[in-house]
Amino acid sequence: MSKRVRTAVFPVAGLGTRFLPATKAMPKEMLTVVDRPLIQYAVDEAREAGIEHFVFVTGRNKGVIEDHFDRQFELETTLEMRGKTAALRELQQDLPSAGRTSFTRQQEPLGLGHAVWCARHIVGDSPFALLLPDMLFKGEPGVLKQMIEAYEETGGNVIAVEEVPESDVSSYGVVARGDGPDTGFSITGMVEKPKREDAPSNLIISGRYILQPEIFALLANQPRGAGGEIQLTDAMQTLMTQQAFTGVKYRGQSFDCGAKIGFLTANVVYALDRDDIRDGFLKELRKLDLEDRL
């Protein structure tokens, strides 16, 4: 029987250069989709999937993330005194329980693989989930929960994938699909940013992983790859020769919030799904005469 996945790792040390100057003093993970930071959506997804320990791999100027997942007694007292019980209750519900969060530093920007390796002592000898907060997923149930369901059947390593047009595969890590249904098929290979003619499929790696702890030993000795960084995909390719990898073609919609277009689209979609602001938002959109701008 496979070990239960209790820990999730969130790499949040990136500089967010695509959102400058907004991210000069604020972490990109704290950019809000409607009224919730991106990192909160990722943590919510992990909690829904049963994750109990949340590990944040941070860098300089990321202290506000740690503050976000801490109690602010002055704010809570003010909300209570003003009778804003709904807002107070929401703040309290968003917080992981005491002792459930850990923070470690990635002192150098050496890539995703290096960020994962920095969490090795906290994660220990257990499988763990890896969530890239830039990627926001809207699905029922959440993508990580769909992956946990597959993991409970297959064990090993699990990667969330989605289809993209064949013309776009050169921008992503791409997997080769083996046998099995969309909810859990064998991955027989993977390649980082292949040429269109060399891509094994149009299924791309989507920023959600369940990995076995053996990945840490591989990352420790992983030579630098593309961009002079330690690439997680390179280590996973080696691990694939030793352990099974399963792909889950998740049910839902993704938004690449590390890019301006994906971030803006997510704000529109999430706003339109909110009963408390949908009608007002639509009213304002109609005032813009968008047809004349398209």
| 225-279 tens-digit pLDDT | 767 778 898 899 999 999 999 999 999 999 999 999 999 999 999 999 999 999 9
CATH superfamily of 7-293: Spore Coat Polysaccharide Biosynthesis Protein SpsA; Chain A (3.90.550.10)
According to DSSP, the β-strands at 203-211 and 53-58 are unpaired
**What φ, ψ does residue 26 adopt, rounded to 5°?**
-125, 130
Helix 85-94 / helix 38-48 crossing angle, nearest 10 deg: 70
**Rounded to 5 degrees, what are φ and ψ at 174?**
-120, 140
> Whole-angstrom Cα distance, residue 166 to residue 201?
8
Spans of the chain, pLDDT less than 50: none
> What pLDDT, on the 0 to 100 scale, is given for residue 294?
65
The model's pTM is 0.91
290 C-beta neighbours (distance < 10 Å), count? 9
